[in-house]
Amino acid sequence: MLNMKIWLAAVILYALTALSLHAQDTTRFEFRRDLGFSTNIIFNEIFESSGAPVAIMLKTYNKPGRAMRYGVNLNVSWNDASGDADYSTANQIGLGIVIGKEFQQKIGKSWVWYYGVDVIPGLSYYKYESYLNKDQTSGLKRTSVGFIGRPFLAVRFDINARLYVSAEASFNINYRYSKTTLYFFNPDSTEHLDGHGLALNTTPASGIFIFYRFNK
């Protein structure tokens, strides 16, 4: 699996570089859109990247160095050890919609630093089940909705006029409202819990995005 991810990463980077070189114009001008994706789904096992496994972002410019950000973050995970007599399963899916603003400043021929803030409304679903001698003994279901406020500071490296890579560090303010159902067997019982949660955390600049710039 790891070798396959390395091979896939090399193919994607080669294809994007070839596309950007083919599309370059010798006339210097400002691009109006950047479209990018997170490499976490490829590099998680190689570089211990952080962030959503699947993330896509579009940046639009109304003036040079000022971009609106629109994106989608998707987290999907599952753990199933059903081959054993005693085991548990845990499945989760989360979806977030990114809306933000960034401000850019060149610090060299190929380097740009930028900062800004994102607001990310989202929802998630989590399910856990526990089994003993292949009979279910307990379980949990949780549905959550909320939002994340994310001020960020980032750096980008321009590979060429159209293609660049970037990494962002952020401070996250995470609010969630959750509805949880706990259920047990032998004896049978069910418990319902509702609650609000607020969490503060930081994300290091280890998740890498690849962006392609265009004007259409």
From first CA to last CA, the distance across the chain in angstroms is 37
Mean pLDDT of the chain: 85
Q: Which helix or strand (DSSP H or E) is residue 166 part of?
A: strand 163-184
What is the pLDDT at residue 94?
96
The span from the CA of 210 to the CA of 205, in Å, is 14
pLDDT tens string 110-149? 999 999 999 999 999 999 999 988 889 999 999 999 999 9
Buried b (16+ CB within 10 A) or exposed e, 97-120: ebebebebeeeeeeebebebbbeb
Query: Do residues 175 and 136 lie in contact, with contact meaning Cβ atoms separated by under 8 Å?
Result: no
What is the pLDDT at residue 4?
45
User: Domain 2-214 has what CATH class?
Assistant: mainly beta
Which SS3 state, helix, strand or coil, does residue 4 take? Answer: helix
What is the pLDDT at residue 29?
55
pLDDT at residue 100 is higher than 80: yes
User: What's the pTM?
Assistant: 0.80
Asked whether the bond before 204 is cis by omega within 30 degrees of 0, the reply is no
pLDDT at residue 50 is higher than 60: no
pLDDT band at 46 (very low <50, low <70, confident <90, very high): very low
The span from the CA of 114 to the CA of 169, in Å, is 11
Query: Do residues 212 and 163 lie in contact, with contact meaning Cβ atoms separated by under 8 Å?
Result: yes
pLDDT at residue 49 is higher than 60: no
pLDDT tens string 5-16? 444 444 444 444
pLDDT band at 83 (very low <50, low <70, confident <90, very high): low
pLDDT tens string 162-204? 999 999 999 999 999 999 999 999 889 999 999 999 999 999 9
Measured from the Cβ of residue 12, the count of other Cβ atoms closer than 10 Å reads 14
pLDDT band at 27 (very low <50, low <70, confident <90, very high): very low
Which SS3 state, helix, strand or coil, does residue 87 take? Answer: strand
What is the pLDDT at residue 116?
98
Q: Higher pLDDT residue, 12 or 82? A: 82
The span from the CA of 58 to the CA of 74, in Å, is 15
The span from the CA of 41 to the CA of 51, in Å, is 10
49-to-27, 30, 44, 207 alpha-carbon distances in Å: 36, 30, 5, 5
User: 51: which DSSP letter?
Assistant: S
Residue at 39: amino acid letter? T
Share of residues in the chain with pLDDT > 70 (%): 79
